[in-house]
Amino acid sequence: MEFRRVFDTIPEQFDRWRPRYCAELFADLIAYAGVSPHASVLELGPGTGQATEPILDTGCAYHAIEIGDNFCQLLQNKYGARQNFHLMHDDFITHEFGGSKFDLIYSAATIQWIPENIAFSKTFELLRPGGTLAMMLTRGDYKTPNEQLYNEIQKVYAAYYKPETPYTHGGFGYMNAPAYGYHPVEKREFFGERVMTAEEYVAFCGTHCDHIVIPEPYKSKLFDGLRAAVLAAGDRIVFHDTFVLYLAKKPL
């Protein structure tokens, strides 16, 4: 199974434990892109809606394209009664949008699963002149706030992190958008903090695609080791989160 499809096997766990983005990021994005009830918006791969509601709440014509069967069902249950919610169950890479055009296309930790040339060229074509492509992701730092615990966790990974399929997915060139016609492009950062118990941390780790595919007995041993490490550190682990927002404009 492709790594980008693995998340769909754990929809409820994914919905509960994946981090949300901060309100400041959404306020900045909505203002920058001019999202209003008159705007047409497309979200790429919303998953279970970690970045959906603040945009949907603007009253815009919200459209989403999601490849996961279980994710689509969960999204429909959450938002299907909203008149401005429109969901396409398909793969963005191959989907034919016809003559549809959007004022904003955005991705929350999704666009990196699409080949760069397709991601940028296809979104560029789908945007109206002056439209915005927004790409957001979260970087969680748990080394700085709890270095001793971090070192103990690395020992657990060294012993038991043995995924059945090696994770070889490379980085995505967010700042390469100008090569496909976008201008300008900029990066903005926002900050937050998460504090988790051992059980919460293990549940969160269980939502990582490369952890889901670890075979037994290594998966259980990995999660047991992570749980024990956090319990020994006072049943508390802190994440310093950086919410990164890349903004690119299609010129008028």
Mind listing the pLDDT tens digit for each residue in 172-219? Answer: 999 999 999 999 999 999 999 999 999 999 999 999 989 998 999 999
Q: What is the mean pLDDT of residues 61-79?
A: 97
pLDDT the model gives residue 128:
98
Distance of alpha carbon 116 from alpha carbon 243, whole angstroms: 21
- The class that CATH gives domain 3-140+168-193+241-249 is alpha beta
Look at residues 58, 106, 107, 104 and name the one whose alpha carbon lies nearest to residue 85.
58
pLDDT > 70 fraction of the chain, expressed in percent and rounded: 98
Output 5 or 90, whichever has higher pLDDT: 90
Q: What is the mean pLDDT of residues 146-159?
A: 98
pLDDT > 90 fraction of the chain, expressed in percent and rounded: 93
- Does 217 sit behind a cis peptide bond, omega within 30 degrees of 0 on the bond before it? yes
pLDDT at 127 over 90: yes
Q: What is the mean pLDDT of residues 144-149?
A: 98
How is the chain split into domains, by residue range?
3-140+168-193+241-249
pLDDT at 1 over 60: no
